[in-house]
Structure 1
Amino acid sequence: MDSILRSGGPIQGRHVDKLDTLPDELLKKHDEEYLAKHQLDKLFGVILQGLVQEMPLDPVQFIIDSVQYGVDQASQDPETGLPVHRKERLMELFRIIDKQGTGRISFRALQMYANRYGGQTLGAEELTSIFSDFKPGSDNLINQEEFLVFFSRVSKTITNSQFEAMIKEMIS
């Protein structure tokens, strides 16, 4: 199934623009056998049921995540639109930065994290700009929700593999 989705090209089998010489009954039987062999009817049934139940903010990402991770991990947060699998990884990153376990990140904590994991690549100005992009609350601290909202905007246009690479780079 993954190879079909990744290839993006035509699938081996009948060409949709050519007349098939098989009678309709044989074509139907051939199609049903193919669907059953690869359990596609079950897969798409589960995905369709998940779409209707969840009504995710990003249905296309929900479908991709359902195929890649399963419907449970594809479920999206109604506020941020983040799928479960991405939210869990971001919370892991948040806990690494929030060493004190307060549920909030100060500029100093972000600076210490950047010094440890970002090396010399981030200057004080860049770090200040990044911190303000998180839109910290009136207490000048970033809470978990603000952290997730920021990363939901940042990660909206990247694939799951790009997201995982980004998180891996930020954690290791």
Structure 2
Amino acid sequence: MDSLLPTRAAAPVPARHVDKLDVLPDELLKKQDEAYLAKHQLDKLFGEILQGLAQEMPRDPVQFIIDSVQYGVEMAKQDPQSGLPEHRKAKLLDLFRVIDKQGTGRISYRSMQLYVNRYGGQTLGADELSSIFSDFRPGSDNLISQEEFLVFFSRVSKTITNAQFEAMVEEMIN
């Protein structure tokens, strides 16, 4: 018969709610926040990043923020032509100089062929090399300029992390 009687629900267990925690005056909260930011120098970092974003207006603001934290705002600045951050651009220019042994500022098909034979000749045939060379979109002189080289790699490297990018360039140089 007890089962036919309405049962009384147990009193709900009170949950913790942020608004019901010990109240701190706004000034004390503000001081705690400021102390935390200052202790970890986050106030300076965020200030530099925001200033960099406002001044540079980078093509990829999220990548700019990531690069600013990893490398600093100066190395996070993005090249207006290629969109590459300075830290990536510097590494790619090092690679360009490895391929451009004569220091002409342009890469010929022959220079690319010599580079590939030394660093990856076992896996790349003549047709594949020719295809890759044309992917760089060499100018009418059939030479790849630094700018064309950077633009090509800006397209290639958009989807990879900084660690993956650095590993790729390291593998291509050594």
User: TM-score, normalised on structure 1?
Assistant: 0.86
Residue 23 of structure 1 aligns with an amino acid whose one-letter code is L
Deviation at 1:31, TM superposition (A): 1.7
Structure 2 residue 136 is the aligned partner of structure 1 residue 134? yes
SS in structure 2 of the partner of residue 77 of structure 1: coil
Q: Cα deviation per residue 1:108-130 (whole Å; 9 max; x = unaligned)?
A: 11111011011301111111111
Deviation at 1:34, TM superposition (A): 1.1
Deviation at 1:36, TM superposition (A): 1.3
Deviation at 1:171, TM superposition (A): 0.2
* Partner of residue 152, structure 1: 154
**% of aligned pairs identical?**
76
Task: Give me the whole-angstrom Cα distance separating, in 1, the residues matched to 2:66 and 2:25.
Answer: 32
Task: Give me the whole-angstrom Cα distance separating, in 1, the residues matched to 2:83 and 2:63.
Answer: 10
Q: Cα deviation per residue 1:76-123 (whole Å; 9 max; x = unaligned)?
A: 111111111111100000011001111111111111101101130111
**Alignment RMSD (CA, Å):** 1.3
Q: 2:32 aligns with which of 1, 24, 30?
A: 30
Residue 75 of structure 2 aligns with an amino acid whose one-letter code is Q
Which sections of structure 2, spanning at least 5 residues, go unmatched?
1-16
Deviation at 1:24, TM superposition (A): 3.8
- The count of residues paired between Structure 1 and Structure 2 equals 156
Residue 119 of structure 1 aligns with an amino acid whose one-letter code is G
* Partner of residue 63, structure 1: 65
Bigger Rg, structure 1 or 2: 2
Deviation at 1:162, TM superposition (A): 0.6
Task: Give me the whole-angstrom Cα distance separating, in 1, the residues matched to 2:150 and 2:22.
Answer: 55
SS in structure 2 of the partner of residue 45 of structure 1: helix
User: TM-score, normalised on structure 2?
Assistant: 0.85
> What does 1:42-57 correspond to in 2, within 5 Å?
42-57=44-59
Structure 2 residue 89 is the aligned partner of structure 1 residue 101? no
SS in structure 2 of the partner of residue 127 of structure 1: helix
Q: 1:165 aligns with which of 164, 167, 173?
A: 167
* Partner of residue 21, structure 1: 22
Deviation at 1:21, TM superposition (A): 2.6
